[in-house]
Structure 1
């Protein structure tokens, strides 16, 4: 009986949950025109305006973004070449864009790939933690950047909204600064962990380890990489996010969306933050719906807003799936040995 229950739970986790997640993503994408108040026919007219030259430029920006992220991966794992980092990036993105919680599967694939290249387990664990931290910090920082752009351009008309936006931006920047300091100084990590333990201790939450222990372990395992390679990690992440932002703005312009740059950056921040939603693979559907609503709020025409978001979704999500499996095939063929 216990085995049958366990098998049932395994079936739900491996088949039903991913299927439901993919279905939800497909439904949200298919209903995107209805959410925006436009039609697929109007979207087709917008897509027809995008020439092959523009597609080539957007593709080059997308590829440059993938290459920029190889600097983050190679900085986090000494000895990893840019070519191999590109394969890892493509495989991880492809899996994450297909499966909910695909990041965990991507990590498993990273271990499989790096092991065949002769890397030990511990450096790969540290690399995974470091890149995860830098991705998390960038996601925290993006909304603050978007809010600062809006405030700097005077694009927040309501005084109360401006105060709330400024406060939120300051808090997000403070979180990034605090986490960075915790990685750099042990006593900061200790104080931050103790404070988090006090807050969590007041909540009815069961936990196996204290946050102080987790933060100190995190710091100790990543200290060498973060202290010596943080400039390359940071510059690589900035380049990656910057190129994705330029790609997003390019998609807006290609589909005829009339929007100021600060507002475009704010919409991009919304899009990237919600890709962390684990309900659907890569936040697909959820991220796009919120981005379209943000663009509509900035006065972009419904058809243009929806077409630009879908075009960016093709580059940032859809195209990475076949590219990821192609990268996995390349790795499999190049590591295959005759008996």
Structure 2
């Protein structure tokens, strides 16, 4: 009886969290034009300029970016094909973009898929460690370059003192680098975490993960680096094209700063996929850099339509196909 009551209570909490998260996301998106001094009518008029040919071009660039990122994922899990890496990326993103704190659910889904493909639990743990580290470091790298351009672009207003809120992120990265650089650090951190999480055995497991992670990075650093650089370049190209097809003139350097702000805000997991937070924050930064409010809002919504919204149906279809294939395989085996 108690277990049934606990399950019902947990289900209600998850439902309430989902509803609240959806309401917050919707409110932020609806508020977007007003937040930068525009209206939805003005934004809609600009979005109406997009042709079918332009949408196809944007979709091709978006898919090319995902394909480039699949090289990073495949190198982080030796034996994983590019096609399966792309499947992991899109299905995990689809779940993460729909559910509150969906990143954990997406990771669990990817773990199930990887195990069905014959990979071990430890291999998946190393894969998650490496890909998470690379994603965070790449975002911080873009932010660091953009901050270096601040004196040239006079774009400090795009960041402001609120960037101090993200100080824990580089601190966490530095901690990870320290663990990778020194096995004693891995044991010390693991020992301290064992005191917090009883029976976690991290003092024993963390050094082992460290050795596996270093081996992956030594053997796969070329495709990891090349894939990540190509992915970020294609993200910037997609952002630039979104404004070009809308005939909203913005310089490439300004858009790079906007991409840095967008990368920064995706680290804030208040809503699924940071939806609403990214749109308002990045649009406000572009307006502060001299962009037209309606044009900036339209361009960014078009960009997020591909990098956030499009991942949900495409990832959902890929998940449905994978599930169907698994059921068919199980039926044949039976």
TM range (shorter): 0.7 to 0.9
Matched with 2:279 is 288
Question: Structure 2: which 5+ residue stretches go unaligned?
Answer: none
Structure 1 CA distance for aligned equivalents of residues 269 and 100 of structure 2: 6
Which residue in 1 is equivalent to 2:325?
Answer: 334
2:153 is the counterpart of 1:155: yes
Partner of 1:116: 116
Q: Does 1:300 align with 2:300?
A: no
| Equivalent residues in 2 for 1:160-175, closer than 5 Å | none
Contact 1:183–1:223 under 8 Å retained in 2? no
Distance 1:262 1:100, change over 3 A: same
Counterparts of 1:128 and 1:228 in 2: how far apart (Å)? 17
2:182 corresponds in structure 1 to: 186
Displacement of 1:51 = 2.0
Indicate if the aligned counterparts of 1:75 and 1:233 stay in contact, CA closer than 8 A. Answer: yes
Supply the distance in 2 between the matched residues of 1:243 and 1:65 (Cα, whole angstroms). Answer: 5
C-alpha spacing 1:188/1:144, structure 2 compared with 1 (3 Å): farther
Moved more, 256-265 or 123-132: 256-265
TM-score by length of 2: 0.85
- Residue number among 249, 258, 275 corresponding to 1:267 in the alignment: 258
Deviation (angstroms), 1:279: 1.3
Task: Kindly report which structure 2 residues correspond to 1:122-271, keeping only aligned pairs within 5 A, or say none.
Answer: 122-151=122-151, 154-156=152-154, 178=174, 182=178, 185-186=181-182, 189=185, 207-208=196-197, 213=203, 216=207, 218-271=209-262
CA RMSD, aligned part only? 3.2
Q: Paired residue for 1:203?
A: none
- Give me the TM-score of the superposition, normalised by structure 1: 0.83
Render the CA deviation track for 1:199-244: whole Å, top value 9, x for unaligned: x9xxxxx94489x958645423412112221222122122112211
Does the aligned pair in 2 maintain the 1:141–1:176 contact within 8 Å? Answer: no
Q: Secondary structure at the match of 2:112?
A: helix
Q: CA deviation at 1:280?
A: 0.3
CA drift of 1:299 comes to 0.8
Q: Do the aligned partners of 1:50 and 1:255 also contact (CA within 8 Å) in 2?
A: yes
| Residue of structure 1 equivalent to 2:38 | 38
Q: What is the CA distance between 1:17 and its match in structure 2?
A: 0.6
